[in-house]
Each structure stands twice: as structure tokens, then as C-alpha cells.
Homo-oligomer: A and B are copies of this chain.
Amino acid sequence: MPLPPEALAEIARLRATPRPTLRAVAEGMEAHLYRPIPVLDHGFVRVIDYMGDDGAIVQAARVSYGAGTRAARDDAGLVRYLMRHAHSTPFEMCEVKLHVKLPVFVARQWIRHRTANVNEYSARYSVLDREFYLPAPEHLAAQSAANAQGRGETLAPEEAARVLGWLKEDAARAYDHYQAMLANDGQQGLARELARINLPMNVYTQWYWKTDLHNLLHFLRLRADAHAQYEIRVYAEAIAGVVRDWVPATWAAFADYRLGGVTLSAQGVEVLRRRLAGETVTEETSGLSRGEWREFVAFWG
């Protein structure tokens, strides 16, 4: 993911000129601003701007005149309380804007999160770069037998090589034809909005994406999850690192109550209660379906 020199120069320029502000400042985010965090083979996530910090959540929850409480310890306690009781609106009071470079098939999953603002690079207006996502061999995996929408074992080297060869060749040929269709020396040159339809879904695109912290945490919960496709999960993990640096108290509460927590059904509660009372519960006597029992035992033993 080497950025073009003029992009690097622009980032250096922006980072060289701090200006005074009276707003809430999160030091952890200032360190991230504008710098690309590499993701996949050509992608990145860059923080472009942010609003608020842990104190801003507390301030909004209290509809107060000041900025959080004086004691950071009290702020963290209130943040935990808000997270525990699913008070979502105070977390909406923080906002972040990211510049993301990502393959189109990842963008198609990402955009399903509707409560966000998006400006995407327009392939009607501009020409796309010759950059395609090619999985590393260790990420080329077979269809999972257990999970209809997941991956299983890594492909054997020979099969992986064959797959990778096709992905490379097809992308290269599609891009060659894309350029040839656009060219207007000796021909009219096809409209960009049509030529691009020949490109495969692993071509890279870019967008500015802005959302609030509540919706970002929801995004992370779904996309940093083990069931998410690997290629979007790595973006979620990169963003998770940013959130940890931005709002440490919120991140800690999120890790305890959401990522590390678990939701039990009424039947699951009943099984645990019977176990705590010393009973041995089997799949047959559990009241759970086969799939639920499998998930239950995988977690609780």
C-alpha cells in the first residue's frame, strides 16, 4: 500500500501544522490523524476527523454545561453504566470520519450499515487504478462444510496456486480491456460509466465514511466477529484499534459488555440454572434445538 508521493506530502503537510482549538481533544486520535493504517494488500484506513471523547459522552448524558466530570474515574463508571443498560444516545454524541481504500466486494458488505455518511470515488467521473485484491495463500480457504457462508481449511498449495493464477490473469485482462475501451486515440472511447462494468469485484475503490460512535460500535460488533468475512474483518480490526485509542473508557466497557459478553435465550438461562442446581442436562432434556445445543456446548462446555 505505498501511497503516491503527493499524498504522502499532503499528509506530512497536514500533520505539520497544529492549530489551537477550544474543542474536546483526544490525544489518541491526534496521533492517528491522516496516517494510513494498511489493510489487505492495497487498502488502508485513515482518520480524517473526529468529534468528542469519553468526556463528551458523559457530558451529553448529563446535558451539562461542563465537559465530563472532573474525575476521569467517575466518567468511566458512568460510561460503563450507559453501556450496560444499552443507553445508546450518549454514544451517538461522538463522531468519526474515515478515508478508506477497500475492494468493491468489501464495500458492498460495508454499505449495508445505513446510518453513516458516504462519499465514494466515482468511476463515472474518474478512471479506477490498476489495483486488485489478491488473497495471500494462507487466506485461500475451501468452502466450510459446517457453515454455508464460511471458510474451512486452507487450500492445498497446488489448488491455491491455480486459483491465484486465475484471479491475477482475469483481473489483468479485464483491466487491459478497460483501458483499451476508454482510450480515445484512433477511436471514440467508451464512456467511463460503461467501461468500468468490465472490472471484477476485487478492484479497489475509496470512500470517505463518517458515522457516530454508537453505530461504529455496532459495525465493529458485527464485522470484527469471527463469522464476518475475513476481508472486512481486518478493516473492522484496524478501526477497533483506532477506537481504543480514541475513547479508552468506552472501548473497555464495549469489550466487557459486548465483545466478551454473551446473550442467552430463555431456554439457555433455564439450562444454566439447572446445571447450577447440580443437574446434568443433555441435548434431549435441554429444550434447545440441535443447532442451539451445539452453540451452547461450544461456549459453556
Contact = CB atoms under 8 A, between A and B. Distances in A.
Interface of A: 3, 6-7, 10-11, 13-15, 17-25, 30, 33-34, 48-52, 56, 59-61, 63, 65-67, 77, 80-81, 84, 86, 89-90, 92-93, 95, 97, 99, 103-105, 107-108, 111-112, 114-115, 117-122, 124-125, 133, 135, 140-144, 148-153, 155-156, 159, 163, 166-167, 170-171, 173-174, 177, 180-182, 184, 187-194, 196-202, 206-208, 210, 212, 222, 229, 255-257, 259-269, 272-273, 275-276, 289, 291-292, 300-301
Contact of A143 (B48, B142, B189, B200): B189
A33, A133, A256 pick with most chain B CB within 10 angstroms: A256
A191 B142 contact: yes
A124 B95 contact: no
A93, A192, A201 pick with most chain B CB within 10 angstroms: A201
Contacts of A292: 84
Contact of A19 (B3, B21, B33, B144): B21
Given A14-B66, A49-B56, 19 more contacts: A14-B22, A19-B21, A21-B21, A50-B51, A51-B51, A84-B265, A90-B119, A93-B119, A114-B114, A122-B149, A125-B149, A141-B194, A142-B190, A143-B190, A152-B188, A170-B173, A256-B265, A262-B269, A273-B300
A300 B33 CA distance: 46
A149 B170 contact: no
A91 to B, nearest CB: 9
A178 to B, nearest CB: 9
